[in-house]
């Protein structure tokens, strides 16, 4: 059993703190909002993540998980301090380290015994050294401490599972002994432990996310070629994915990636590369292809409808992916903005992200279910691949619509069946497999 403090109760911090408590550790999570801490003590979470609410409740009741705004209380007994605060995109694409800096200062002012500081936030290469300098400038040699980089690889929607079943645990430090002590926290979970220097560990995180983002952009570019040449990207992706060198993961063509990680991390890596004279052409292309997919969907829909002025378009899904309520850089934001700019009325429904979406849009008609979205719509756009959209009564959906135009932004529907039912169906990269020109 270890005494652990976690700075930040966002997605990464809350999952990390709750799961470490579930492994039997004493965990104190600190943030700056009294209301948020009070809510968490009552089991009211600021995010939606499957399974997380139960773990928070269970460990609250067991007395292993605590929430506070009191830095002195959080640091009092800590042997390990995880920094899990936001690193949003700055004005030039760089990662904004203001929250990391503030956390390092607060920690340095309060540590009074040997402690290991663990960077869990996604931070630019060299941040571990920078954090060490901040603490050393404030405390000198008064307190012994070590900095370890421990990047997270959690997927929103399966974060609890990913934490408890890691593919690998990456630890970077100037002290192998410190890294091995952190590795002991993860020992019950299995998975390969990879110990490196600080900068290599930080780079592993960026390189991993950049590769996955590029893989999605690659299959989207292949999808566009498939449309032009009359092939079906779903079959192409399946054929590619059976090759063990490629794998089927992240080969789903559609409207591109969004969320809090891929856009931010790819921009930050491009920024870092350019600062040091490297031309990251593949990463730049990955970003361009990604954002072009959203415009491509609008173009395809415009070609069918002849324009959007006076038309009603319904969106099925708003979150950037299923099993989350995260609206950060969600493709739905761009799609709604483009539709409204061209005069469309937008109706929308999402089972989890609706409350967050209402803070972004005042003039979207938010509905209670998918059928209400379809009522009187001239077109439906499938934006997020929620399971409940996969088994809709499509005959009922069609009967409610003014015009049966269905734009499948995630390729979850059977093209031939939708066409046979009377929909004007378009997927992304579906060639001539039952729906004409794509």
Claim to verify: residue 255 and residue 226 sit in the same structural domain? yes
Claim to verify: residue 310 and residue 411 sit in the same structural domain? yes
Claim to verify: residue 422 and residue 325 sit in the same structural domain? yes
Q: Give this prediction's pTM.
A: 0.92
- Residue 109 confidence (pLDDT): 95
Number of domains present in the structure of the chain: 2
Active site residue 367: no
Q: Does a structural domain hold residue 434?
A: no
- Residue 437 confidence (pLDDT): 43
- Residue 114 confidence (pLDDT): 96
The 3-state DSSP class for residue 380 equals strand
Q: Give the domain extent around 116.
A: 3-196
- Residue 362 confidence (pLDDT): 86
Which residue is catalytic, options 29, 226, 261, 367?
261
- Residue 435 confidence (pLDDT): 47
Paired tokens of 130: 């920078």
- Residue 141 confidence (pLDDT): 85
Tell the residue number behind the tokens 């966002």, with chain if given: 10
Sheet holding 379-382, edge to edge: 365-366, 345-349, 312-316, 379-382, 405-408, 424-426
Q: Does a structural domain hold residue 97?
A: yes
Claim to verify: residue 344 and residue 249 sit in the same structural domain? yes
Contact indicator for 85, 8 with CB cutoff of 8 Å: yes
Claim to verify: residue 150 and residue 285 sit in the same structural domain? no
**Residue ranges in the chain modelled with pLDDT below 70:** 432-438
**DSSP 8-state assignment for residue 145:** E
Claim to verify: residue 94 and residue 29 sit in the same structural domain? yes
- Residue 431 confidence (pLDDT): 77
Report the alpha-carbon distance of residue 312 to residue 337 in Å, rounded.
Answer: 14
pLDDT tens string 129-170 = 999 999 999 998 889 999 999 999 999 999 999 999 999 999
- Residue 373 confidence (pLDDT): 98
Q: Does a structural domain hold residue 183?
A: yes
Q: Does a structural domain hold residue 205?
A: no
- Which CATH number do you get for residue 126? 3.40.50.720
- Residue 432 confidence (pLDDT): 57
* Domain edge (last residue) among 173, 196, 219: 196
């Amino acid at each position: 059993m270890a005494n652990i403090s976690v700075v930040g109760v966002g997605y990464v911090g809350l999952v990390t703190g709750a799961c470490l408590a579930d492994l039997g550790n004493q965990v104190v999570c600190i943030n700056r909002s009294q209301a948020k801490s009070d809510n968490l003590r009552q089991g009211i979470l600021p995010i939606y993540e499957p399974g997380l609410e139960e773990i928070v409740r269970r460990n609250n009741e067991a007395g292993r998980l605590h929430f506070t705004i009191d830095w002195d209380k959080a640091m009092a007994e800590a042997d390990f301090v995880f920094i899990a605060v936001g690193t949003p995109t700055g004005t030039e694409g760089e990662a904004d380290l203001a929250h990391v800096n503030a956390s390092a200062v607060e920690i340095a002012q309060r540590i009074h015994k040997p402690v290991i500081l663990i960077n869990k936030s996604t931070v630019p290469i060299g941040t571990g050294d920078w954090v060490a300098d901040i603490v050393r400038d404030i405390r000198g040699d008064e307190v012994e401490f070590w900095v370890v980089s421990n990047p997270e690889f959690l997927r929103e929607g399966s974060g609890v599972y990913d934490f408890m079943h890691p593919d690998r645990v990456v630890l970077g430090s100037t002290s192998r002994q410190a890294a091995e002590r952190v590795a002991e926290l993860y020992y019950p979970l299995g998975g390969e432990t990879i110990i490196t220097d600080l900068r290599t560990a930080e780079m592993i995180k960026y390189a991993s996310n950049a590769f996955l983002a590029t893989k999605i952009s690659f299959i989207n570019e292949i999808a566009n070629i498939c449309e032009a040449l009359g092939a079906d990207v779903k079959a192409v992706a399946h054929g590619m994915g059976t090759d063990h060198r490629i794998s089927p993961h992240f080969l789903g063509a559609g409207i591109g990636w969004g969320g809090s990680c891929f856009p931010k991390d790819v921009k930050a890596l491009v920024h870092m590369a350019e600062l040091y004279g490297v031309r990251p052409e593949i990463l730049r292309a990955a970003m361009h292809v990604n954002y072009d997919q959203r415009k491509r969907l609008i173009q395809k829909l415009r070609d069918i409808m002849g324009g959007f002025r006076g038309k009603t378009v319904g969106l099925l899904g708003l979150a950037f992916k299923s099993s989350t309520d995260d609206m950060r850089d969600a493709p739905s934001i761009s799609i709604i903005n483009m539709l409204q700019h061209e005069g469309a009325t937008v109706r929308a429904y999402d089972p989890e992200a609706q409350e967050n979406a209402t803070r972004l849009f005042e003039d979207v008609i938010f509905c209670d279910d998918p059928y209400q979205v379809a009522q009187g719509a001239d077109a439906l756009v499938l934006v997020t691949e929620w399971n409940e959209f996969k088994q809709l009564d499509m005959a009922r959906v069609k009967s409610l619509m003014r015009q049966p135009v269905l734009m499948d932004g995630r390729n979850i529907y059977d093209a031939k069946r939708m066409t046979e039912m009377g929909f004007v169906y378009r997927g992304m990269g579906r060639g001539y497999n039952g729906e004409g020109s794509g």
